[in-house]
Amino acid sequence: MTKKLLTDVELRARWSQQQPDKYWVDADVILTPAAADFIREHDITLCRKEENNANTMTRTQIPMRDGQPVYQDTQTGRETVCKAEGMTHLRGNLLVPKTHPQIAFRGQLDTLMAMILQVQITAQEQGQKQIISDLEELLEFTHKILAAEVKDEPLKEVKMLGMDSQQIRYNSQQVKKVFGIDHPIPNYKMGKLCVELNRLRTQIRETELAAAQAFYCGGSYSRPDIIEALNRMSSCVYILICRKLSGYYDRRNRL
């Protein structure tokens, strides 16, 4: 089941109507970085509903001093009780400039998720139910990448479209053997859906580049798991294009 993503847009809509001090969500809901910022800035307690229906409250603990939250500027190490407009939360009470590479990377993930939704609409207009389903799987995996980065946790094994990392690489490289067609060169004759899929593929590449810039330090990458995951995701979209052009989805739709 796809995990729900809670955005700051939804939070702002609720806040403008009721200004609640508590917000209840399901246990597996993932917050976007902007949503997490909104919760902190408005002192909202995030309450998660556990699967056994026993409601529990969780929130990132921010140190307090004299009734005010204490933040730390990661660049200077200085503490402050006031978050400047040009700063945002990296995680917890750690503040970074909004131009910080990891914040830029999170922005690329937001754009990527929005673009997947856009391509799903085109697939829906063309009656391509299987493509919608495959894109939903990629969307869910993007949520996992976001959660792993924000929580500073390892990303679990790459698994998309029923394939692991090595299988994804093989299918994207051995197009002639797997799909019976030559490696497709993008052009307008591919049709609107394939052109949009190709644009999605390039967005994933841009997101991968943002990840490489955000996590490169001292000659190595601190998050090779995220970089590999995005590389395989772009290969997955290439596989979707090959499936569409080879007639794979047409055959599936007739079943």
DSSP letter string over 55-85? EEE------EETTEE-EEETTT--EESS--T
| Longest distance between any two alpha carbons in the chain, whole Å | 69
251/187: higher pLDDT: 187
Q: What is the pLDDT at residue 75?
A: 66
**What digits encode the pLDDT tens for the residues 166-216?**
999 999 999 999 999 999 999 999 999 999 999 999 999 999 999 999 999
252/198: higher pLDDT: 198
SS3 54: coil
At residue 99, does pLDDT exceed 90?
no
Tokens at 79, concatenated: 């503490």
1/190: higher pLDDT: 190
Closest CA to 210 of 112, 106, 114, 138: 106
**Continuous segment of H or E residues that includes residue 48:** strand 45-49
Question: Could you give the domains of the chain?
Answer: 1-59 (no CATH), 101-254 (1.20.1200.10)
Q: What is the pTM of this model?
A: 0.72
Q: Which of 58-72, 74-88, 142-156 has the lowest mean pLDDT?
A: 58-72
- Backbone φ and ψ for 201, nearest 5 degrees, come out as -60, -40
At residue 221, does pLDDT exceed 80?
yes
Q: How far is CA 117 from the centre of its chain?
A: 12
